[in-house]
């Protein structure tokens, strides 16, 4: 059994968090960016956005920058942009704009922007500096922290990528006000995961909170939890695998929905389904109690819309799980809960067990 926390995180002040040789800024975070750029003595800087962040978030950042002397690289919004063609597009624009090794890429957006931008920067001219300015709750509490970069191939998520740390992360709570409710709840799923794997008190606190409007303190607490995990295990050899709870089944459901549904599931909606199925597997295989399984199921089904898994092809879902990059020797590998706040990594799950997990959700 693995545990990370015996302490309860308090977030009375939102001090800068130290990560793996970089800082995560909270207070007046956008206001700190000009000083960061100046101190880095960068030759040029570039801002990667999508059409939504260009419209809603770039003006807030620009208001803090004391120069217009940067080039903008804009991609289409959405997971479809996180592929090699868009990555080539970013590399080509960096070349066309004359980016050199002293250039800085600012990734202003959600997880697609930070993953794709981080990957493009980490490979351009063997690596240029990049910073993340995450604009969604999901990217603030998850994608921007921990140095994972990546792109998808054939809808297999993050199958190509690097571990490269950003030079800084600037978390601006004000961006969350620009988001629709569905996007907020997408990020909330990762926050709930942080409680489930590492901190039962935090889970309790989340349960009592208005998760359609999470406070800055809750965001801060989640970032602190994620940061503690990735600092201890930056390359996912051990406890970072805890962050994969709900993601083996959740990623498969997300990919399935992306391909088959006109209104596809958000990441958080798919991960919530994954967490319910994997909580069931936790109950069957890792000692999670029936009461806690019920509690998790009730909280998650209360927050997220029901998805008709009965109509989905379980053969296809299992195929996606088999392609998951976390697998070892062709075996599907899950992180499970032993109780709320404690986890167990490297649980090999058979096809039958995974199907049972899926049908637990489908028959709720
Ligand atoms: N999103 C999971 C991780 O950063 O490891």
Span 246-277, pLDDT tens digits: 999 999 999 999 899 999 999 999 999 999 99
- The β-bridge partners of 153 are 156
User: What is the C-alpha separation between 239 and 236, in angstroms, rounded?
Assistant: 7
Distance 243 CA to ligand 1 centre (A): 6
- H-helix or E-strand containing 260? helix 247-260
Q: Whose CA is nearest to atom 3 of ligand 1?
A: 243
Same fold, 17-178 and 181-362: no
Say whether 221 is catalytic.
no
Domain boundaries, the chain: 17-178, 181-362
Q: Is 143:114 a contact under the CB 8 Å cutoff?
A: yes
- H-helix or E-strand containing 349? strand 342-349
DSSP 268: H
Fold of the 17-178 domain? Rossmann fold (3.40.50)
Under CATH, which number does the domain 181-362 receive?
A: 1.20.1090.10
| pLDDT for res 101 | 97
Distance 208 CA to ligand 1 centre (A): 25
Nearby residues of 108 by Cβ (< 8 Å), 6 or more positions away? 47, 48, 49, 53, 57, 58, 61, 133, 135
Distance 324 CA to ligand 1 centre (A): 14
Please tell me which residue in 247, 333, 344, 347 is annotated as part of the active site: 247
Which ligand 1 atom is the nearest neighbour of the CA of 145? 4
Q: Whose CA is nearest to atom 2 of ligand 1?
A: 243
Span 273-297, pLDDT tens digits: 999 999 999 999 999 999 999 999 9
List residues near ligand 1 (CB under 6 A): 142, 146, 148, 236, 240, 243
Whether the per-residue pLDDT at 3 is higher than 80: the answer is: no
DSSP 53: H
Nearby residues of 219 by Cβ (< 8 Å), 6 or more positions away? 137, 140, 141, 171, 173, 176, 191
Span 37-53, pLDDT tens digits: 999 999 999 999 999 99
Please tell me which residue in 21, 41, 66, 126 is annotated as part of the active site: 126
């Amino acid at each position: 059994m693995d545990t990370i926390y015996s302490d309860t995180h308090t977030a009375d002040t939102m001090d800068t968090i130290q990560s793996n040789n970089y800082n995560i800024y909270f207070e007046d975070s956008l206001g700190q960016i000009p000083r960061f750029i100046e101190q880095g003595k960068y030759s040029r800087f570039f801002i990667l956005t999508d059409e939504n962040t260009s419209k809603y978030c770039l003006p807030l950042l620009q208001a803090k920058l004391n120069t217009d002397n940067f080039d903008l690289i804009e991609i289409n919004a959405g997971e479809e942009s996180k592929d090699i063609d868009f990555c080539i597009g970013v590399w080509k624009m960096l070349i066309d704009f004359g980016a050199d090794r002293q250039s800085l890429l600012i990734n202003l957006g959600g997880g697609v922007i930070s993953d794709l931008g981080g990957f493009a920067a980490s490979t351009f001219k063997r690596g240029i500096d990049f910073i993340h300015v995450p604009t969604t709750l999901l990217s603030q509490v998850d994608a921007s922290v921990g140095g994972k970069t990546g792109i998808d191939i054939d809808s297999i998520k993050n199958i190509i990528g690097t571990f490269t740390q950003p030079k800084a992360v600037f978390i601006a709570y004000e961006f969350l006000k620009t988001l629709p409710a569905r996007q907020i709840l997408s990020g909330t799923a990762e926050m709930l995961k942080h409680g489930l794997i590492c901190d039962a008190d935090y889970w309790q606190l989340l349960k009592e909170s208005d998760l359609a409007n999470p406070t800055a303190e809750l965001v801060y607490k989640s970032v602190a939890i994620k940061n503690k995990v990735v600092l201890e295990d930056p390359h996912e050899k051990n406890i970072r695998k805890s962050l994969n709870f709900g993601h083996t089944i959740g990623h498969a459901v997300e990919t399935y929905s992306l391909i088959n549904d006109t209104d596809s599931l958000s990441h958080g909606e798919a991960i919530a389904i994954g967490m319910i199925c994997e909580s069931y597997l936790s109950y069957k295989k890792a000692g999670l109690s029936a009461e806690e399984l019920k509690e998790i199921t009730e909280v998650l089904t209360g927050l997220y819309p029901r998805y008709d898994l009965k109509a989905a092809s379980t053969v296809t879902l299992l195929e996606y799980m088999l392609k998951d990059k976390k697998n070892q020797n062709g075996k599907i590998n899950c992180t499970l809960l032993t109780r709320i706040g404690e986890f167990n990594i490297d649980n090999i799950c058979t096809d039958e067990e995974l199907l049972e997990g899926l049908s637990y959700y489908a028959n709720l």
